[in-house]
Each structure stands twice: as structure tokens, then as C-alpha cells.
Amino acid sequence: MLASSTITALRQQITAGDITPRDIVLDVAKSIDARNTEIGAYLSWDVESALAAADRADIKKPLGGIPIGVKDNMNVTGQPCTCGSRILAENYTAPYDAGAIQRLRSAGAIPFGRLNMDEFAMGSSTENSALGVTRNPRDITRVPGGSSGGSAAAVAGDLAIAALGSDTGGSIRQPASLCGCVGIKPTYGRVSRYGLVAFASSLDQIGPLTKTVEDAALMLNHLCGYDAHDSTSLNVDVPDFTAAIGQDIKGLRIGLPKEYYISGIHAGVSASIQAAIKQLESLGAIIEEISLPHTELGVATYYVLAPAEASANLARFDGVRYGHRSGRAGDLMEHYTQSRAEGFGPEVKRRILLGTYVLSSGYYDAYYIRAQKARTLIRNDFTEAFKHIDVILSPTSPTPAHKLGEMKDNPLAAYLEDVFTIPVNLAGLPGISVPCGNIEVDGIALPIGLQIIGKALDESTVLRVAHAFEQSR
């Protein structure tokens, strides 16, 4: 089954002449047809267009002929881009390729399929999509995580070779953890955000979800790079990330933040992480306890800053230029309010209201400015810690995947699912989730993710540690 294979293995078969890109696209399409009704990872897919691209693929390119699933908040020419929202589901077709899509095409990859997500990337379970729920391929009664739940479920369920996701507060790493695949958020600015529909512009970052660390490194090679269309894009050299694959980790210093190893973590998660620590120590890594003293401010800081930015970014969805337009409006103001009320779901409305509130007169200094100061403190914690260590280790999520609907009426509990991933976004650092074990619940093995956090622009060391751990298991 080609759909269950890795990019690296498929590229070897293609160059050897054993298979063609058409074979891969057909096998992935077959897998989607067989399981997508059950899992709900894809919102749409166009087999004929993908086959046409496969037939003209340049197999000499590094990703030549490999189909890649795309989270449905990235523009791909001629394809829908719904962001999991009713407001864009009716009549928006992307007129251009996002920067990340342009780079993948240049490397020979084939964008194939639109993957489900929490509406406008606001959520940690993919239950907030207006277009249907995505289910965890390990246990379809449970969530896949979010907001890139469709991407993680597709990769882990062998409905995709690899996929693109976006990460604002953990939206690549957390679903990778809950579904049992690899997901990496690069340093902020490493990958162009041009053509990514914005949630929180100072936090959003595109990254890959893959079956192996080596595939993640390969995709990063062709996703990263400067883009003049994105004012936050970093004009820095991009190393060959695959060069880190296979290097040992003897002598590397790994920090364990005492604020991350706390009560409230599921016992099975703690056991898996402790086993991972021992495994890395056996490979020659030096384990040290560290402190990130402002960790407790992370979730509160995020839920001031991210909604504030979302409130501004989502103001463009007014029913005038594109997207859902209410047919019940009597005047212009009613047109705005009705279109947005009908088009946005409850979680998006909640965050817009929260963001508008913290930006409003009389509350701006009390909330938004104080949150920006707290963000600086969190970033400084990491800067200080990385003077003495090479990477930081933690759980990706404090719990395994919960049941569908379990947190529907408790958004605060859902927000705490990202307690270990949010600080990485606030500091703009790279972080990866790699599978590190399973917890048996009701007779089903639920995956656990190990998060490895690195210095800014040091994805190579993050990948080096992640690959060494992956291969040792």
C-alpha cells in the first residue's frame, strides 16, 4: 500500500522506476475513498487534477511526484479554501498559490486534497469545523486534536503521504501527538505566511506533518526560505535539514523545565515521557532540570493576544468582497452583522468578542499591553535557558485524545490542552512532536507525543534529537 509509505521510500521507488507518481496518487485516492467517510479528514479532493499533475511531474526533483495534503486555510489556485467555515464554504475559490504551495510545487510535489480543520484554526479538536467532524484514526470515537486535525488524521490514517498544517498555539504538534505522527512548527518567519489565511499574524506558522522525522526534514528543506510577499519572512540561509538525520546526540544538553512536569498530567503521559528521557540519556544526552518561571502566564497571555489579532484579521469577512452574504439584510450595517452572524461559528464568535474587548478603549492597557509584556518575559525565559542547554523536552499534550464531545461545554478545559505548546509560539521557537509511546484506554492504544523545543533557527538540532529518539525506538 503506497499510501502508508514515506516520502523517502517512495522517492527511492520512483527513481528506481518501480512505481510512477500516478501510482501513488491512485493509491492515496483509493485510501481516501475507503476511509474518509469514517475519519472525515478531507473536505474535498480532485483526483483528475492530481493525476494530470502526476503525469507531468519532474521525478528528478527532490519531491517529484509526491502528493501532499493541504490544510484548508492555505490558498491553492483553483481550489476551495474554506478555513472550515461556512463564511467561505459557499463561493470562494483561491485565485493564487500560497508561498508554501509555490515552494512545494517548485520541488516537484503535488498539492492534493483539502484537509479539515477547526474553523479559522480556532480549536484543539477539529470539532469546531462548520463542515463536519474529523475523527482520530486510532479510535474514531475520539478527537484527532486540532486545529490541523484533518492533516494529522490523514497522515496517521494513511490517507496522505504527508500534509501541511499551520500552528498558532500548538495546532501542528498537538494533533500530531494525539494521532501518532510527526509534526514540526518551524521558527516564526522560516516559512512564508503569504496565502495562509491569518488567525493571529504574530503567531501563525506553516509546517509539515509526516510519518517520520526524516520526511519532516526533507519537507522543511523545500518549505523554508525568504518570501518578499510576507513582511515577517526571515531573509536567512536555509541549511540542509536532512544533514541532521543520523547524527548522534552524545553530549547534547537536554533541559527539563520543572514547570512542565506538574500534577494534572495524565499518568500514562508522564510514564511515557519519563521512559523517553531515560532513552535519550542512554543515547548519551545530558539531562538537566531547568526553570521557565513565567510558564504559568502562557495560556492567559495567548488568549489575550491571539483573539486580539483574530478580531482584526477576521474583520475583512464582511460579506461584501467574498464569502457568505446574508440575504436577510435591510441596510449596510445589518448586512455586516447578519452575514457575520450566519457565517461564523460559536468558537470564532467567542474569540472575536474577546479580542475586540481587550482592544477596546479602557481595556487596551489593562489586557493587551500587559499581555505583550508577559510575552516578553516568556521569551526571555527561553533565551536564558538556551544559554546552558541545547533543546528542551516536555510532553506535547498533558492527556491522550479525549472523546468526541467531551469538552464541548467546557472551552476553558479545551484551552488548557495547549499548555505545553503555546509558549513555543509566543517565543517564536521551533518545536516538534514525535511519537513516544501509547496508553491503552478501553483496549485501544492511544498515542503520546514527545515535544522537543529548540533555539530560534535551530531546527537542525531539534530534528537531530527527534530522529535519534525515533530510531532508537
**pLDDT (tens digit, 9 = 90+) per residue, 403-432?**
999 988 787 778 888 999 999 999 999 999
**Phi, psi (rounded to 5 degrees) for 344:** -90, 145
- Amino acid present at 11: R
Task: Determine which of 25-34, 364-373, 376-385, 413-422 has the lowest per-residue pLDDT on average.
Answer: 413-422
**pLDDT (tens digit, 9 = 90+) per residue, 279-292?**
999 999 999 999 99
- The pLDDT value given to residue 261: 92
- The pLDDT value given to residue 186: 98
- 171 assigned to active site: yes
Fold classification of 1-292+377-473 is Amidase signature (AS) enzymes (3.90.1300)
- 373 assigned to active site: no
- Would you place residue 124 in the very low, low, confident or very high pLDDT band (cuts 50, 70, 90)? very high
- The pLDDT value given to residue 329: 77
In this structure, what C-alpha cell is assigned to residue 244? 541532521
**pLDDT (tens digit, 9 = 90+) per residue, 131-140?**
999 999 999 9
Residue with cell 479528514: 41
* Number of residues that make up the chain: 473
Of 85, 171, 192, 394, the catalytic one is 171
- Would you place residue 75 in the very low, low, confident or very high pLDDT band (cuts 50, 70, 90)? very high
Say yes or no to pLDDT of 466 above 80: yes
Eight-state DSSP code of residue 231: T
Mean pLDDT, to the nearest integer, of 17-44? 98
Mean pLDDT, to the nearest integer, of 424-452? 97
Of 5, 31, 147, 433, the catalytic one is 147
**pLDDT (tens digit, 9 = 90+) per residue, 303-329?**
999 999 999 999 999 989 888 998 887
Residue 330 CB burial class (10 angstroms; 0-12, 13-18, ≥19): exposed
Q: What is the DSSP string of 78-113?
A: TSB--TT-HHHHTT-B--S--HHHHHHHHTT-EEEE
- The pLDDT value given to residue 456: 98
Say yes or no to pLDDT of 224 above 90: yes
- The pLDDT value given to residue 351: 97
Using alpha carbons, list the distances in angstroms from residue 115 to 76, 82, 286, 406.
Answer: 12, 10, 40, 23
Contact between 314 and 348 (Cβ < 8 Å) = yes
- The pLDDT value given to residue 262: 84
Runs of H (alpha helix) within 43-85: 47-55
Eight-state DSSP code of residue 444: E
Share of the chain above pLDDT 70, in %: 100
- 30 assigned to active site: no
- The pLDDT value given to residue 249: 98
- Amino acid present at 41: A
Ranges in the chain annotated CATH 3.90.1300.10:
1-292+377-473
- The pLDDT value given to residue 386: 98
- Would you place residue 391 in the very low, low, confident or very high pLDDT band (cuts 50, 70, 90)? very high
- The pLDDT value given to residue 176: 98
Q: What is the mean pLDDT of the chain?
A: 96
Task: Determine which of 111-120, 198-207, 403-412 has the lowest per-residue pLDDT on average.
Answer: 403-412
- The pLDDT value given to residue 454: 98
Contact between 126 and 416 (Cβ < 8 Å) = no
- Would you place residue 263 in the very low, low, confident or very high pLDDT band (cuts 50, 70, 90)? confident
What is the maximum alpha-carbon separation in the chain? Answer: 70
Helix count (H) and strand count (E) of the chain? 16, 11
Number of Cβ within 10 Å of residue 4's Cβ equals 14
Of 71, 185, 211, 455, the catalytic one is 71
